[in-house]
Structure 1
Amino acid sequence: MPEAKLAPDKITYSAAISACEKGGQWQQALNVLSLMPEARVESDRITYNAAISACEKGSQWQLALNLLRLMHEARVVPNHITYNAAISACEKCGQWQQALNLISLMPEVRVVPNEITFSATISACEKGGQWQLALNLLSLMPKARVVPNEITYNAAISACEKVGQWQRALSLLGSMPEARASPDEISFSASISACGPGGQWQSALDVLRKMLEQQVMPDEVSYNALISVCERSQQLERGLQLLWESKGRGVSLSVAFFPGALARLSVHDPDIISAAFDEVMLKLSASPLTPQELSSIAWSSGMLGVNNSTLLQALVIQAVPQLELFTLRDLLKLAWGFAASGVDVGLLMAIQTEVITRLEQVDLHHFSELFRNAFLQETLGLLWASNFAGCCSNKLLASARLVIRQAGAIMDIAHGPSSLPAYESFGELPCTEADLWQPDGKPQIILDLPDRLVIFKPPGWEVHSQHTDLQLSSFLQAALGKRFAITRDEEHQCGFLHRLDLPSSGLVLAAKTYEAYYDLKVQLNAGEIARDYVILCHGWVRPCLKDIKAKVYWRGLLPTIAGDQGKPSWTRLKVTAHAWHRSTALSLVAVRIATGRRHQIRSHFSHVGHPTVCDGKYTADATFQSDQDLCARNFLHRYRLAFKDLAGKDHEVMMPVPADLMISLQRVTARDIQSAETIRDWVTGSSLRSWQDYTPLILDFGRKQADTQ
């Protein structure tokens, strides 16, 4: 325009900023706004509103609030459009406190909130998990002479849904007609989802019936919610019926819906799975898919054990050019799927490059707690997938470690300095012989460092779940007092890095600070923590069996199932001794886990036909009863942990088998000289060492090659 000797005015700049806003170019919008003073054109409410809206669409809540502040300084009067855009910017980033602050300031500047204002603020509370505040805002609307509409109710129902407040969600749904708000598919779908955490599948089906009675047609989101409720309630057959119903009703379904539902419902029928992925291949070859669809298909193929190289290659071709458009969650699902079903090193390295770029740009100080925690879990998941696939780059590990540690430090500051005297750590606390033979089996702190520690968990104690009276978390709280906030933070597992099954014994790693917790989380997901076990199992395990890589899945309190579907899992083993007790053949096996799934060792050894001794979940009842003549509880003991402290120094802790397992070993008869020596070593506890330093039995049953199952 200057070349044409036409001076741009307010209308020109406002139009340009609005164009940038509509195109999602918030940086360009702010750049245009910054040029106005130089051109001696004053910004007005229209230009500011357009710029704030651009920031809202780009999820730049800090910049949106800064523009609102600049408006006041420039004496430009904001209106409800201004505040609605600023509140929406906060809502997108889960900044519910900022959104509430803005709506509370509106009366002071004589701006009247409308239904959009309330809806956006309620949505902000929903994203922050603040369902009580969301309902309070809804109740305030009549006093403000604002009539709630479907969008307002949907936001309030979603707030209840996020925290499993299913009764309140259903109550809101039922009250909508009285408020002259017509429930739509979003209202019904959110109400159905609310029934999931509580396992209220009957209530979810009641909502579906009401939906159909009111002639509101369920969509993909509705059926997705219904199937999720059935999955969580272990009503898998009903979930499958709903899946077929969605097809029969002619619901418009995305290409990823059917495979995703099959994976969540653990469908095993190869014909159904094959047909679903044949349809996926047709869609992949015919049209481009969204990042969400691509990542969901990859995840589903990994869960269902679909190792189709043509499918995976088609996913790679579409995914790589648009990785920057994937959310971090979708990048995780994509990486996880390929790590589980077929490693493509090129794709995983491209994903890591994209994640590193985001890690270098992120500022967690400006994240809400909910968004920050999601970011951390997704980053840790990406570390795990990369490590499991065997191609985790040093740069990704370094970038993730830096950011995740910083997040932990931020949390430590937020919880405030302790008012109690500084805690004095005691370093390594050796276990005495009396401790080991203690009949009541109390927990003990074995290694005490300034910000982390190792505890011995006796059998019968639970790490943290409140299913039994004997809680390791209670022991830790009593031992450390109130000095460390994380020990009472259930969202962070009370500081524990991992669990150990109730009947098992062994070493457990815990953190005293959030920074230590997340530092150890990085080590755990990057494969830097060694967890070594000793087990006694049924049968003479072939010494050539080195690895068990069966996938696992579980439902509620039911046993974990190992096979070709579920989450990828890896157990490494060395058969160190063969023995027998009466007429029962037994093997003493040293184990290292590369993944830490629920009941992984027990389910894996049962899967290969060698269940652990005295395991009521994974053996027949007759076997379990017979085993009790040898051992009163499951013979599984985590004897060694190796990890690093915050400075990178290596630490190793080892713990001999407790007295009850020593007695059991003394009752068995070794099959050969090597086995006798190994069993003697475990009984005396005199030569404990790393799993990798144990020598497997020489016997190979005629097999020379290492075996994996």
Structure 2
Amino acid sequence: MQPTSPGALTKVRQHQVGAEEAGQRIDNFLLRHFKNIPKSHVYKMLRSGEVRVNKGRVQATYRLLEGDVVRLPPVREQADSDKPLPKAPAGLQSSLETAILHEDNALLVLNKPSGLAVHGGSGLSFGVIETLRAARPDAPFLELVHRLDRETSGCLIVAKKRSALRGLHEQLREGQMDKHYLVLAKGAWKGGAQSVDLALRKNTLRSGERIVQAEAEGKAARTRFVPVQRFRRAALLRAELETGRTHQIRVHLQSIGHPVAGDDKYGDPEFNRELRELGLRRLFLHAAHLNFMHPVKGERVMVEAPLPEELQAVLQKLDGSSS
């Protein structure tokens, strides 16, 4: 049996940083550039000074500027391997491509299915972003603009240019992006719209589980809830986020006595059992609407993700409905 031949040794290259690459850390730039090189080797090249920016050494945290010249050292990239890189399931790739709600040269918005994480980790090889990159190997840039919980479905933005990523992040920081969710909450909803203004803090339990709680020492969080459809023992609400904290909608509703249907972390077990009898097998939380300024064209973009059929079916089975 012939031994596997090593990959070809690349030549030293001088790479000038363009506008789309500016702003990112040098280590992240190298990890994207040397896709088949072990991560540890990339950091070793930085520490040893093999990688240089403008002929000088830099730390891994250095952020590239437009016009910087990066020395890319010769490397022996992995060619054939007994353990090929894992590939995203073809069915998952095609399902995400068909879930795209809007796409242009700078970004795309897809209708993320419930049960799929936005990125890999914790035993998951592929999330949304890894699957998209596998489906589009020639795409120079694909990055998540924001996140959705694994069990939450709906609108998710992916940037195709670094300038778009920066622009959309600025809109998120400044509260200039409208994000509306549809959520089914326990109990009859009294009155009209209600705003919840409770600070949230992340905590880690003794078991290691991470949980978010309403605490005065936490980060400011505000959500406006508008009733959409009322039922005898539940209410369909539109949740309008004024901030974007982890588990914000779920914890805010729990705090006012209206936990989210199907929520195993913050929900009501008895209510969840009742809804399972009606066919609910997931968290009833859906990112239904996005409204933002296009970061390149300067035009308003509005995207709607229809409520999934399995959630519509649950609503049809609830009693005492009214508009």
With normalisation by structure 1, the TM-score equals 0.32
State how far apart, in whole Å, the 2-side matches of 1:463 and 1:518 are.
19
SS at match of 1:522: helix
Match of 1:659 in 2: 309
How far apart are residue 602 of structure 1 and its match? 0.6
Match of 1:455 in 2: 110
Shift of the 662–527 alpha-carbon distance from structure 1 to 2, 3 Å rule, reads same
- Are the counterparts in 2 of residues 411 and 514 from structure 1 also a CA contact under 8 Å? no
The partner residue of 2:318 within 653, 665, 668 is 668
- Are the counterparts in 2 of residues 537 and 612 from structure 1 also a CA contact under 8 Å? yes
Matched, 1:539 2:187: yes
Q: Deviations over 1:463-491 (max 9, x none)?
A: 01423355111221133323224x3xxxx
Shift of the 446–553 alpha-carbon distance from structure 1 to 2, 3 Å rule, reads same
SS at match of 2:130: helix
- Are the counterparts in 1 of residues 119 and 126 from structure 2 also a CA contact under 8 Å? no
State how far apart, in whole Å, the 1-side matches of 2:184 and 2:263 are.
11
Q: Deviations over 1:272-325 (max 9, x none)?
A: xxxxxxxxxxxxxxxxxxxxxxxxxxxxxxxxxxxxxxxxxxxxxxxxxxxxxx
SS at match of 1:484: coil
Structure ranking higher in helix proportion? 1
The partner residue of 1:478 within 110, 126, 134 is 134
Structure ranking higher in strand proportion? 2
Matched, 1:604 2:256: no
Shift of the 368–558 alpha-carbon distance from structure 1 to 2, 3 Å rule, reads closer
How far apart are residue 411 of structure 1 and its match? 9.5
Superposition pairs of residues 468-547 of structure 1, within 5 angstroms: 468-469=124-125, 471-485=127-141, 487=142, 495-547=143-195
Structure number with higher relative contact order (C-alpha < 8 Å, ≥ 6 residues apart): 2
Gaps of 5+ in 2: 1-24, 27-41, 50-57, 73-93
Match of 1:442 in 2: 95
Q: Deviations over 1:327-372 (max 9, x none)?
A: xxxxxxxxxxxxxxxxxxxxxxxxxxxxxxxxxxxxxxxx977254
- Are the counterparts in 2 of residues 500 and 508 from structure 1 also a CA contact under 8 Å? yes
Shift of the 659–598 alpha-carbon distance from structure 1 to 2, 3 Å rule, reads same
SS at match of 1:559: strand
How far apart are residue 540 of structure 1 and its match? 1.6
Shift of the 545–563 alpha-carbon distance from structure 1 to 2, 3 Å rule, reads farther
- Are the counterparts in 2 of residues 442 and 458 from structure 1 also a CA contact under 8 Å? no
Superposition pairs of residues 293-692 of structure 1, within 5 angstroms: 370-372=61-63, 410=66, 442-443=95-96, 444-467=99-122, 468-469=124-125, 471-485=127-141, 487=142, 495-556=143-204, 557-580=209-232, 585-630=233-278, 631-645=280-294, 646-672=296-322, 675=323
State how far apart, in whole Å, the 1-side matches of 2:67 and 2:164 are.
11
State how far apart, in whole Å, the 2-side matches of 1:476 and 1:411 are.
29
How far apart are residue 455 of structure 1 and its match? 1.1
State how far apart, in whole Å, the 2-side matches of 1:643 and 1:625 are.
38
State how far apart, in whole Å, the 2-side matches of 1:133 and 1:577 are.
57
State how far apart, in whole Å, the 1-side matches of 2:277 and 2:215 are.
31
Question: Which is greater in Rg?
Answer: 1
Gaps of 5+ in 1: 1-93, 96-128, 138-366, 374-406, 417-440, 488-494, 676-709
- Are the counterparts in 2 of residues 578 and 586 from structure 1 also a CA contact under 8 Å? yes
SS at match of 1:554: strand
Q: Which amino acid aligns with 2:138?
A: K
Shift of the 481–517 alpha-carbon distance from structure 1 to 2, 3 Å rule, reads same
Q: Which amino acid aligns with 1:442?
A: S
SS at match of 2:211: coil
Q: Deviations over 1:559-587 (max 9, x none)?
A: 2112323111111111122103xxxx101
Superposition pairs of residues 21-40 of structure 1, within 5 angstroms: none
State how far apart, in whole Å, the 1-side matches of 2:255 and 2:262 are.
16
- Are the counterparts in 2 of residues 572 and 592 from structure 1 also a CA contact under 8 Å? yes
Shift of the 413–562 alpha-carbon distance from structure 1 to 2, 3 Å rule, reads farther
State how far apart, in whole Å, the 2-side matches of 1:549 and 1:413 are.
48
Shift of the 413–587 alpha-carbon distance from structure 1 to 2, 3 Å rule, reads farther
Q: Deviations over 1:611-652 (max 9, x none)?
A: 011110012433333331231111110111112221211111
State how far apart, in whole Å, the 2-side matches of 1:412 and 1:592 are.
42
SS at match of 2:171: helix
State how far apart, in whole Å, the 1-side matches of 2:159 and 2:226 are.
30
SS at match of 1:669: coil
State how far apart, in whole Å, the 1-side matches of 2:68 and 2:237 are.
41
Shift of the 671–446 alpha-carbon distance from structure 1 to 2, 3 Å rule, reads closer
SS at match of 1:442: helix
Shift of the 515–659 alpha-carbon distance from structure 1 to 2, 3 Å rule, reads same
- Are the counterparts in 2 of residues 447 and 455 from structure 1 also a CA contact under 8 Å? yes
Q: Which amino acid aligns with 2:128?
A: L
Q: What is the CA RMSD across the aligned residues, in angstroms?
A: 3.3
With normalisation by structure 2, the TM-score equals 0.68
Match of 1:331 in 2: none
State how far apart, in whole Å, the 1-side matches of 2:68 and 2:274 are.
51
Shift of the 477–553 alpha-carbon distance from structure 1 to 2, 3 Å rule, reads same
> What is the count of residue pairs matched by the alignment?
248
How far apart are residue 131 of structure 1 and its match? 7.5
Q: Which amino acid aligns with 2:211?
A: P
Shift of the 548–658 alpha-carbon distance from structure 1 to 2, 3 Å rule, reads same
State how far apart, in whole Å, the 2-side matches of 1:633 and 1:655 are.
17
